[in-house]
Amino acid sequence: MRPLNAVVAQCSNQARECLIKPLHTHFRAVHAAHDLQELRTCIAEHHTDVAIIDLEMVSLDQLRQLASDYAGTTIICTHRLADEQLWAEALAAGAADCCHSFDVRAIMLAASRHTATPHAA
C-alpha cells in the first residue's frame, strides 16, 4: 500500500484515541476530526485518502454528501452497534465498508481493498 493520509472522526474520545495510535503504523499521517466541519476541513486540507467516520457523528444523508463531495476519498464507517441493515445503508450512501468502532484490523482491510493502486498495464 502506498503512503496514505487518513482522518479519524469518532464521537467517542476513547474510540478516536484507540484508532489513531495503531493507524499511525499504517498511514503516513492520521488526523483527528471532532465534528463534521472539522472532518470536511481535514479531508480538503490534507488530501485525505481514507476517512474513518463514526455513523453516530453523521447522518446517512451527510455521509452521502461527503461521498459525493470527496469522491477520491475512501470512506470507512464505524459504529459500536453496527448490524446488517446499517452496514447496507452505509454502503448505499457511499461508504466502502462499515466496521465495529474498535476493529482496527477490519478498518485496515477495508482501506487496503479500496485504496490499492492499480498496476500499470
Q: Which domains does the chain have, with CATH numbers?
A: 5-115 (3.40.50.2300)
Helix ranges (DSSP H) in the chain: 13-23, 36-46, 60-69, 84-92, 104-115
Is 109 exposed, middle or buried (CB count within 10 Å of its CB: 0-12, 13-18, 19+)? middle
CA 62 to mean position of chain CA atoms:
14
Whole-number pLDDT of residue 14: 87
Q: How many residues does the chain have?
A: 121
| pTM as predicted | 0.89
The radius of gyration of the chain's CA atoms, rounded to the nearest angstrom, is: 13
Closest alpha carbon to 76 in 46, 96, 105? 96
- Show pLDDT as tens, one digit a residue, over the chain (121 residues): 456 899 999 988 888 888 998 998 889 999 999 999 999 999 999 999 999 999 999 999 999 999 999 999 999 999 987 678 889 999 999 999 999 888 899 999 999 887 754 433 3
Per-residue cell: 69: 463531495
* Integer Cα distance of 93 and 85 in angstroms: 12
Closest alpha carbon to 94 in 57, 116, 61, 117? 61
